[in-house]
């Protein structure tokens, strides 16, 4: 039977406790960003931290807690969790871009086709926003026969509600197309996610 050295338990305690505490408290996404992170990456990290804080507070007890300076979530007695205003100097948190061609649209006149192209580009931008907020459901199927690929299909589906999207710009692309940019602010994104999770 081997006798353990008294130094080994002390060494394990000194090394193990910081590692254990690091595993118990995850690092906020905003703190994990590199020093040269761009403004978009910073906004996305702040949104993630706000949603994580909102999830943690909804899992905790419903008892009112006092406001603590420096925390990302403010709770008021007998009220819902209010996500912080992220990037007060930045007007929007995420944006979606959609494109459409004029010539392929239905209509008897050029102006009708232009209006339809604007509508199609706006809906394409809405789909881009929905993909960012709700995520994509991907389904892939590959069939192999006689040691070669017979068919390879990939299907992407997005399903979700978008509220409060604002039109930022409409840009003609050449002579036969439009580009539409829509944006959602951070508070609206947090509201949509909470509604999708049934927290509202």
Query: What is residue 189's three-state secondary structure?
Result: helix
3-state secondary structure 10-46: HHHHHHHHHHHHHHHCCCCHHHHCCCCCCHHHHHHHH
Q: How far apart are CA 96 and CA 132, in angstroms?
A: 8
pLDDT computed for residue 34 by the predictor:
78
pLDDT computed for residue 85 by the predictor:
42
Angular region, 157: left φ>0, alpha ψ -120 to 50, beta rest: beta
pLDDT computed for residue 157 by the predictor:
93
Helix (H) or strand (E) holding 195: helix 186-196
Task: Give the chain's end-to-end CA distance (angstroms, integer).
Answer: 62
Q: How far apart are CA 16 and CA 56, in angstroms?
A: 26
pLDDT computed for residue 68 by the predictor:
43
Q: How far apart are CA 52 and CA 47, in angstroms?
A: 9
How many angstroms separate the Cα of 142 from the Cα of each of 136, 153, 157, 158?
Answer: 19, 6, 18, 21
Name the token pair of 87: 């990037």
Query: What is residue 173's three-state secondary structure?
Result: coil
List beta partners, residue 82.
74
- What's the CA angle centered on 103, arms 97 and 109, to 5 degrees? 115
Angle between helices 39-59 and 186-196 (to 10 degrees): 40
Q: How far apart are CA 135 and CA 189, in angstroms?
A: 13
pLDDT tens string for the chain (200 positions)?
Answer: 555 555 555 444 445 544 444 455 667 777 777 788 777 777 777 777 776 676 665 555 444 444 444 444 443 444 444 444 434 334 447 899 999 999 999 989 999 999 999 999 999 999 999 998 888 899 999 999 999 999 999 999 999 888 889 999 999 998 899 999 999 988 888 888 888 777 76
pLDDT computed for residue 198 by the predictor:
78
pLDDT computed for residue 7 by the predictor:
52
pLDDT computed for residue 72 by the predictor:
43
């Amino acid at each position: 039977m081997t006798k353990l050295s008294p130094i080994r338990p002390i060494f394990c305690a000194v090394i193990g406790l910081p590692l254990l505490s690091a595993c118990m408290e995850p690092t906020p996404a905003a703190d994990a960003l590199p020093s040269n992170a761009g403004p978009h990456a910073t906004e996305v990290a702040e949104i993630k931290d706000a949603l994580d804080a909102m999830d943690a507070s909804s899992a905790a007890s419903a008892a009112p807690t006092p406001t603590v300076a420096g925390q990302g979530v403010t709770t008021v007695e007998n009220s819902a969790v209010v996500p912080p205003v992220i990037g007060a100097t930045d007007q929007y948190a995420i944006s979606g871009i959609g494109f459409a061609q004029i010539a392929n649209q239905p209509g008897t006149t050029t102006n009708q086709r232009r209006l339809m192209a604007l509508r199609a580009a706006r809906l394409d931008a809405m789909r881009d926003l929905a993909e960012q907020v709700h995520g994509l459901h991907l389904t892939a199927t590959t069939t192999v026969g006689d040691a070669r690929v017979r068919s390879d299909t990939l299907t992407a589906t997005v399903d979700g509600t978008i509220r409060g999207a604002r039109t930022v710009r409409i840009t003609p692309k050449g002579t036969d197309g439009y580009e539409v940019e829509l944006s959602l602010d951070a508070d609206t994104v947090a509201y949509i996610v909470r509604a999708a999770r049934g927290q509202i």
